[in-house]
Chains A and B, each alone.
Chain A
Amino acid sequence: MSPADPAEIWTYLRQDPLLWLTATLVAYALGDLAFRRAGRRPLVNPVLVAVALLAVLLRVTGTPYESYFEGAQFVHFMLGPATVALAAPLYANLRLIRSAFWPMLAALVAGSVTALVTAVAIGAAFGLRGETLLSLAPKSVTAPVALGVSETIGGAPNLTAVLVIITGITGAIVATPLLNLMRIRDWRARASPSAWPPMASARRGRSGQRDGRGLRGHRHGAQRAADGADRAAARSVAGGAARGVRRVARARRPAQSVAPNEEAIMTEDTDRHAMKMAKKKAARDKIMATKTDEKG
């Protein structure tokens, strides 16, 4: 086989899923690196960074989205099984959910309905119409669910994906100062604002870090637990975190937020899906759950 010229290689690559699948993973790895380098600031969201990098790359190489998606679909496909897998954190927090079932359910419904109604009302007031408005509706739902909902109601799932990410970032940035301002001290309430839409990525970033009052380590532990990775190990760490946070919350006036982020994974707006709610709840309460475990 004689060496092909670069144009031929490029012709091959752009038709093969390999290139864009690899590019997606590399872009995400870079995004995650940037996120960690930036001290896990919610603004440096790994997904957002990856999306920006890939968007520029597509533009520069003149690649249509459809070609990109040929490769990226393998990653995209995993959203379905991952959504199903959310049953695991939900189940793991069953005890916790039972202990505060009604307040959580009520908060979920209230937060979801509020997010949905205000987003659509404000969007409409600013002149948004049609597909754009519908894409906005599910933005506070946990991302995989939001995409499905957007498609079902006639929105543009791709637009919704970005809106969900931005909503997650907004929630992460706004929640702690807002709750302090409102003098909310009940850590459970702080941990559960059903309102914000947590995105997986946002979830990681979201937490603490910024107030650096010695809670850092704890928070990380909690976050990790929330991530659901190596659950058992994370659990004990998170337990410590929860305890630490609780102590601080009690001792200090403006309570520190209890990694409000957790929840993030799972928020949603449409109240019609009780399941989703449950899921959210679960996520939300992971931290609480670990805390409960400690107690019991």
Chain B
Amino acid sequence: MIVNLVVLLACQLAGEVAARGLGLPIPGPVIGMALLFAAFILQPRLAQRIAATTSALLAHLSLLFVPAGVGVVGHLDTLGRDGVALMAALLLSTVAAILAGVYVFLAVARLTGASE
């Protein structure tokens, strides 16, 4: 368990250092995820080893957004003023993105012959 956490934190730490050191516009934890993924490929046993920890963390992923979400109290005026615009943008762009994703998937699947 401790070792597993160390693996995750070390990846995150390396990612943060890389992001800052190289001035990359990518969040450090995302780089950390790429590093861990690479580690899994190089060392498949690692994936099994830390599966319990990653599952436990991801099972409660949504809880982790609560503190950031509560920060919306500092933006209530923004929501009041721009609420309609934000909702319109959210709704329309979500519909557009779903359609774009689905149709592109189908088109490319047909082109590349990736059958179901």
Contacts and interface: CB of A to CB of B under 8 A. Distances in A.
| Size bin of chain B's contact surface | 35 or more
B71 interface: yes
B54 A107 contact: no
Contacts of B65: 47, 79, 143-144, 161, 164-165, 199-201
B9 interface: yes
Contacts of A220: none
B73 A55 contact: yes
Contact of B50 (A88, A178, A201, A273): A88
B3 interface: no
B84 A174 contact: no
Nearest to B70: A54
A272 B25 contact: yes
Nearest to A106: B108
A24 B54 contact: no
Nearest to A79: B64
Nearest to B15: A84
B85 interface: yes
Contact of B67 (A72, A81, A148): A72
Given A55-B72, A65-B71, A81-B5, A139 B90 contact: yes
Contact of A162 (B36, B69, B106): B69
A7 interface: no
Interface in B5-58: 5, 8-9, 11-12, 15, 25-37, 40-41, 47, 50-51, 53-58
A163 B74 contact: no
A289 interface: no
B101 A192 contact: yes
Interface of B: 5, 8-9, 11-12, 15, 25-37, 40-41, 47, 50-51, 53-59, 61-75, 78-79, 82, 84-109, 112, 114, 116
Interface of A: 24-25, 27-28, 46-48, 50-51, 54-55, 58-59, 65, 68-69, 72-73, 75-76, 78-92, 99-100, 102-104, 106-116, 118-120, 122-123, 126-128, 132, 136, 139-140, 143-145, 147-149, 151-153, 156-159, 161-167, 170-171, 174-175, 178-179, 182, 184, 186-190, 192-197, 199-204, 227-231, 265, 269, 272-273, 275-276, 278-279
Given A103-B106, A161-B72, A227-B58, 13 more contacts: A69-B71, A82-B57, A82-B61, A83-B12, A83-B32, A87-B36, A89-B58, A118-B89, A123-B86, A128-B89, A132-B78, A166-B87, A178-B98
A-B CB proximity, top 10 nearest: A158-B71, A148-B27, A195-B97, A111-B101, A201-B62, A126-B85, A200-B61, A72-B67, A200-B62, A115-B97
